[in-house]
Amino acid sequence: MKKLLIMAIVLLLFLFSCKSKIAEKQVEKIAENNLLKQMILREGEVRLEIKKVLSFDLTKSKSDVLVVNGVLKGEDGYYFTNKKNVKIYKYDKDGKFIREFLKRGQGPGDLSYLMNVRLANNSVYALSMNKIIKFNKDGNFVFQKRFPNIHYYPIDIVDDNRVVGEKFNMSVLNGKKGELKMVELFDIKEGKATKLAGTEYSGQITLKIGSDYLSLTVPDLSPGIVWAYDTKNKRLYYANSDEYKITAVGMDGQKLFDFGRVYKPIRVDIDIINEKFGILKKNTLKDIKKNVPQYVMPIGTIEILSSGYIAVYNEFGKADKAAIDVFDSKGHYIYKLKLPEVLELNKLFFFNDGNIGYIKETPNGLVFTEYAVKKPEHIF
């Protein structure tokens, strides 16, 4: 009897062990096959701690510097951009104004519109929808290249002969089926475009009011497609507005991998739209043409950090909920960075050395501050 009891206990332990191993394997299988669940296992939150490095008054050094859209940090100073007036202002490392270059126009070294500015190859690149201009680091004109039959916005530089840009598919706007927006790699020298990403969403909500249509751009409700070019790894990261899934593609257009997070989607309903505009009380979702998803995910901007990690601004960049999801270059979720209350997400700029820049409007003009970051491991 005692022998039978011992055998029964051993059998039960064996069955329990098998069941446990099967369950373990099932969990491993889920984690292996479901990337989003794999991300959740690594979830953590870090509040970004910062220390002021330097601060200077942009307007005091040059009185007409009243609008700045961005700032880049080079080896010998800072480059501030004014897209509205098509200008670049260079300051040295101590905050002393050096010179202004670029202007609105049609001549050599001029742009009609300023869409983006990049530092690469010890040079400054200024880009419009169909033109790139290269300056040396001192702001002296080097060359310009046009591609007049294509209009890209946004646009980024790959090298002297190639750009990555987003464009509308005009045939879809005219009623044909297909992707409404596309991101392409364009070779200026060869005149050849390679498709990298696409979306059927326009980033606009079109409403029928009586017999007329009204188009409203609502970027924080329907960005359509959000993307960033990774110069270090030579790849594009993009996300559509209806799902928090980011896709990495190579410059040949081949998909590399997907990654993302689990968030509750936000329904695009008339109440949310009315919060923005307050004019659509008699309209319903039935009046909205099918170029906007019924649900959107809180992806605002994708940014590549100096380490090659990917920063995704979520919660639509609202000041009270501003946070940044950080993934490594393989798409593994690392941290959610919560910003200090003194910083607003849309005025924050990441530098290649791991520091961050911040521009604040004051009654006397614009003040720029650079902060060193208490660096979470491997991120900056």
pLDDT of residue 159: 94
**Sign of the CA dihedral running 242, 247, 251, 255:** negative
In 3D, which of 291, 310, 299, 293 has the Cα closest to residue 231? 310
pLDDT in tens, 75-126: 999 999 999 899 999 999 999 999 999 999 988 889 999 999 999 888 999 9
pLDDT at 97: 92
CB neighbour list of residue 4: distance below 8 Å, 6 or more residues apart: none
Q: Are strands 333-338 and 45-47 parallel, antiparallel or unpaired?
A: parallel
Structure-model confidence comparison of residues 366 and 338, the more confident one: 366
In tens, the pLDDT along 160-182 reads: 999 999 987 766 555 566 667 88
Determine the Cα–Cα distance for residues 354 and 375; give it in Å rounded to an integer. 8
Q: Which has the higher per-residue pLDDT, 267 or 313?
A: 313
pLDDT over 90 for what percent of the chain? Answer: 31
Q: What is the reported pLDDT for 174?
A: 57
DSSP E strand stretches across 50-101: 50-57, 70-74, 77-82, 87-92, 97-101
- pLDDT, tens digit (0-9, with 9 covering 90-100), for 296-310: 566 778 888 877 889
> Among candidates 39, 49, 52, 53, which has minimal Cα distance to 338?
49
Contact (Cβ atoms closer than 8 angstroms) between residue 327 and residue 309: yes
Q: What is the DSSP string of 204-272?
A: EEEEEETTEEEEEE-TTT--SEEEEEETTTTEEEEEETTS-EEEEEETTS-EEEEEE-----EE--HHH
Check pLDDT > 70 for residue 51: yes
